Amino acid sequence: MQQQILHNLRGRILIKSRIMRVLILLFKVIKRIYKYICIFFEQITSFILMKLNGVVIDSGFRSRGIPSVDVTLGGSFVIGKNFEMNNGKKYNKIGRQQQCFFIVREDGKLIIGNNVGMSATAIICDKYIQIGDSVKIGGNVVIYDTDFHSLSSNIRNNDETDYFSTNRQDVIIENNVFIGAHSTILKGVRIGENSIIGAGSVVTKSVPENEIWGGNPAKFIRKL
């Protein structure tokens, strides 16, 4: 009798286990289908959003999620071939998820080269930012070519004088650079070809080519 009960119990457990496996498989299939549908519509929406902001886009543009784009009249934004980006909570889940932000102010010029990839990146261009070919930008990186405000408290207290007195300097990121997640690239910085910026770095001065830099403020670590 006990053996029969145990046999029946094992049978029920086996059936429940099989049902659970089917449900898990079904859930994963539905999730994948939903993801592809979302990517399809997000891709279209992102492309339209870019074009309505006057962005010049070459072939191979791919967007997962929808970025925030604001190109002011007089600003210029150009993207090269095979550009890829991840936006929001669903893609490249490494923490601190957000949209990509592309803010190009009046007279600003933002140029992104070919084969560039980024996730949850914020680029604020007041003057001139150039990103070369085959650059990889990790999650939550920010790139600024401006201080946003004057360093003088007297000037800073007046919105008009503050804006026109703010220090703005070009940012140049050369080909094949890799910028680690959560890094900050500040005004006036040039990052040389093939160089690597460690995760969480704050780059305040230019980095020569073929070097690894990291820290806050970022310092030389070693040659490549």
Catalytic residue among 149, 156, 190, 219: 149
Contact criterion met (CB below 8 Å) for 126 and 168: yes
Burial class (CB in 10 A: 0-12, 13-18, 19+), 123: buried
End-to-end Cα separation, the chain, in angstroms: 73
Q: State yes or no: cis peptide before 217, omega within 30 of 0.
A: yes
Q: How far apart are CA 123 and CA 202, in angstroms?
A: 15
Active site residue 149: yes
Helix %, strand %, coil % for the chain, to 5? 30, 30, 45
Contact criterion met (CB below 8 Å) for 133 and 115: yes
Report the catalytic residues. Answer: 149
